[in-house]
Chains A and B, each alone.
Chain A
Amino acid sequence: MSDEVRFSLTVDGTSHEVTARWSESLLTVLRDRLGVRGPKTGCAHGRCGACAVRADLGDGDPHVLCACLVPAATAAGGTVETIASIGGPDGELSDVQEAFLAEGAVQCGICTAGFVTAATELLESNPEPTRTEIEEALYGNLCRCTGYGRIVAAVETAARTRRGEAR
């Protein structure tokens, strides 16, 4: 009996016809089948947030999720926005990405796309987050390098810049 499932998926504005094994995760489809390498494989089971993407999977409002936990074929006909959709088309950085650079919130970088994705989502819904709200929103993202202080500072900086306040 065939293990394969065929479905369409739009990633960063490009539509794809995917053929995948029934049990495959959205993360391996993105990275290994479609060559979309923005989402990273950290733990592969929902603990680290390195694979975070924003997705509209036909199950309610679009939201940020761990691509490693989603069976890819359940996203059939859906839309995924990776870190590539957060910056500009020619590689311009978003305000959140600029703030991560300015605050030194990036070291090895494997966690960065996930943090920027989660932080961008937070600022969309809550333009004036407190430090506690930032920590709660980033609770599902792990970083082995920075010690988190610079990351929280970067989100605070991005929020201030977005509100038009001086740094």
Chain B
Amino acid sequence: MLLAAPRFALPETVTEALAALAERPDAVVVAGGTEVMPDLLWRNRTAAGFVSLRRVAGLRGVSSVDGELVVGAGTPVAALTAVPDAGLRSAASSLGTPLVRTEATIGGNVVSALPYRNLLPALLASGATLELTSAAGTRTVPFDGFVTAPGRTGLAEGELLTAVRLPAHTGFADYTKVGRRNAQFVATVSAAIVSRDGAARLAFGNAAPTPLRSDDVDAAATALLDGRADAGDLRAAVAAAVDPPDDPIASAGYRRHALGVLAVRLVTRAAVDGGLGS
């Protein structure tokens, strides 16, 4: 442990971090701090201390293990702008600003669990799994279903997200978002695609309280990719599957429409850039 105070701990290993959390049950975990610090400033959250993951070197880095891309939860988003997974790369490249991306981590993005966060649709489309570690050991869960409500996840008390695993893809993957302006914007809605062997899999952000995908949408997207259906069919499938929020940023109707547009845009890119369509 590099530093231990009553309300602050700077562990160097996951084991030390778990012990520090157990000793400070009211403390929050802080990785990059890019969500937590503004939240404290604007009093969106209360906390009685920090357990920082900044110096836990074992949580940082990207490696290839058994055909999977394993990304440590403390890996900065800046490092994700160069990973082999094109969907994650694209979602990372449009997150925040260069000065935010050096601090923001993949783990903080996933655990914040807000419906407009960049990396979530990319992880859902690619079929990612999560490694969760507690004093009792490590369990692996699918990312699909991990977010249970905006800001809420299946992470148990005293548990840390330690890694994100993505299947290696040979096909086409991408991410896109729209917002209210072109600079430094959060997504009004967003979408990600993975397409391989002629089948498309889509996932959406801010299309429902939690990241959303649907077999009906994927069937329509795959049919559009093959030329068996047209863009209108995919837009209709998306409109039927989503349940977007209605808030001061945008109406549910606007979001439903925009999600259909993004879905068609991504499938078109997959057909053209991926060379997989008709």
Interface residues of A (CB under 8 A from B): 1-7, 22-23, 25, 44-47, 49, 52, 57-60, 63-66, 68-71, 73-74, 76-77, 118, 136-137, 139-141
Please name 13 further chain A to chain B contacts, defined as beta carbons within 8 Å, in addition to the given A69-B103, A139-B97, sorted by A numbering: A1-B6, A7-B3, A22-B49, A23-B50, A52-B99, A58-B55, A68-B37, A73-B5, A74-B33, A76-B10, A118-B99, A136-B98, A140-B98
Contact B50 A22 (CB under 8 A): yes
Q: What distance in Å separates the Cβ of B91 from its nearest Cβ neighbour in chain A?
A: 16
In the assembled complex, 20 residue pairs joining A and B whose CB atoms fall closer than 8 Å, in A order, are: A2-B7, A4-B5, A5-B3, A45-B37, A49-B99, A52-B99, A59-B60, A60-B60, A64-B98, A65-B99, A66-B100, A69-B32, A70-B33, A71-B37, A73-B3, A74-B50, A136-B98, A137-B98, A139-B97, A139-B183
Q: A47-B184, A76-B3 are in contact. Are A57 and B54 (CB under 8 A)?
A: yes
Cβ-Cβ contact count across A and B, 8 Å cutoff? 110
Q: A23-B47, A46-B38, A69-B33 are in contact. Are A140 and B97 (CB under 8 A)?
A: yes
Contact B41 A44 (CB under 8 A): yes
Which of B42, B54, B60, B97 interacts with A74 by CB under 8 Å?
A: B54
Q: What distance in Å separates the Cβ of A107 from its nearest Cβ neighbour in chain B?
A: 20
Residues of B within 8 A of A25 (CB): 37
Residues of B within 8 A of A6 (CB): 5
Q: What distance in Å separates the Cβ of A5 from its nearest Cβ neighbour in chain B?
A: 4
Residues of A within 8 A of B178 (CB): none
Q: How far is the CA of A59 from the CA of B52 in the complex (A)?
A: 11
Residues of A within 8 A of B33 (CB): 69-71, 74
Interface residues of B (CB under 8 A from A): 2-3, 5-8, 10, 30, 32-34, 36-38, 40-42, 47, 49-50, 52, 54-55, 57, 60, 76, 78, 96-100, 102-103, 183-184
Q: How far is the CA of A5 from the CA of B6 in the complex (A)?
A: 8
Q: What distance in Å separates the Cβ of A68 from its nearest Cβ neighbour in chain B?
A: 7
Contact B99 A140 (CB under 8 A): yes
Q: A5-B7, A47-B184 are in contact. Are A74 and B30 (CB under 8 A)?
A: yes
Contact B5 A74 (CB under 8 A): no
Residues of A within 8 A of B8 (CB): 5, 22, 73
A-B residue pairs, 3 tightest by C-beta: A140-B97, A140-B99, A45-B38
Contact A118 B98 (CB under 8 A): yes
Which of B2, B47, B50, B99 interacts with A64 by CB under 8 Å?
A: B99
> In the complex, what residue of chain B is closest to A2 when comparing beta carbons?
B6
Contact A46 B5 (CB under 8 A): no
